Amino acid sequence: MGVLKGSIGYAKFHVRGALPDDVHQRFLARVRARAFKPLTPEDEDDASVGWMPIERPFDDEVSFRSEGVFFGSYLNLALRIDRWKFPSSLVKAKMAAAERVYRQKTNKERISRAEKAELREAVERKLRRDGEPTTKTADFTWNLATRELRLFGKSKLVVEHFHELFEKTFQLRLLPAGPYITGIAVELPKGLERALAEVEPTAFHHRGARRAAEVA
């Protein structure tokens, strides 16, 4: 969450690239094409990643309306990530039980690698049928006029999935905000832009002098 309620911590980005003339219609179609799809126990993939309406990130049925995505010069959406993830101790316990039953049925003392793989698939399918996928959501708000974007989620998993899905959806580059990127975004004069590229961190105090002052 983050845009409408919850934590105000966010990661800031700049968006590079030309926007289409019919931005609302074009972007809405692209968002719908990459909308979130719920995971099912039969899915081969362990995760599902996609866009959700920012006001309804946990809805079972996804629908996007222009007035629910665009707010003035802003585009607002939620990223949703669902994953099948079970504790390793639980999987080991279920596997041990499945192997024990399999040995009793087949009168085998040893189970082949292929048989273990089949048992593991059966165990994971049952865990999926009996359980629920874990869910993460993260809001983002994108000012189409200034090209600034704020993602209200900073975990590595969220940022990586967001970065990949954003660029695939909108066909634009997403760059982490920083002094150099910000300078390019505000279109600094060429001389200043070149100088900014060569800026290095500077300490405003002498470490030894500071320690001496602390001891005194």
Residue 189, pLDDT above cutoff 70: no
Residue-level pLDDT at 194: 57
Count of H-run helices and E-run strands, the chain: 8, 7
Residue 187, token pair as written in the block: 């279109």
Q: What is the helix (H) or strand (E) element at residue 106, kind and residue range?
A: helix 88-106
Please provide the average confidence, as pLDDT, over all residues in the chain.
84
User: Which of residues 130 and 143 earns the better pLDDT score?
Assistant: 143
- The two tokens of residue 18 are 């030309």
For the ranges 39-43, 100-104, 113-117, 205-209, which has the lowest average pLDDT?
205-209
Distance CA 39, CA 128 (A): 10
The mean per-residue pLDDT over the stretch 78-84 comes to 95
pLDDT tens by residue, 112-134: 899 888 998 888 889 888 888 99
SS3 state at 30: helix
CB atoms within 10 A of CB 141: 19
**Contact call for residues 48 and 38 (beta carbons, < 8 A):** yes
Predicted confidence at residue 91, as pLDDT, reads: 86
| Per-residue pLDDT, 7 | 58
Pairwise CA distance, residues 176 & 174, whole Å: 7
pLDDT of residue 192: 56
Q: What is the pLDDT of residue 41?
A: 87
pLDDT value at position 63? 84
- In one-letter notation, the amino acid at residue 55 is E
pLDDT tops 90 at residue 19: yes
pLDDT digits (tens, 9 = 90+) for 28-59: 999 999 999 998 888 888 899 999 999 999 98
Residue 71 pLDDT more than 70? Answer: yes
The pair phi, psi for residue 100, each rounded to 5°, is -65, -45
pTM: 0.73
Percent of the chain with pLDDT over 90: 47
pLDDT value for 215: 54
Residues 131-141 have a mean pLDDT of 93
| DSSP code per residue over 152-181 | S--SHHHHHHHHHHHHHHH--EEEE--HHH
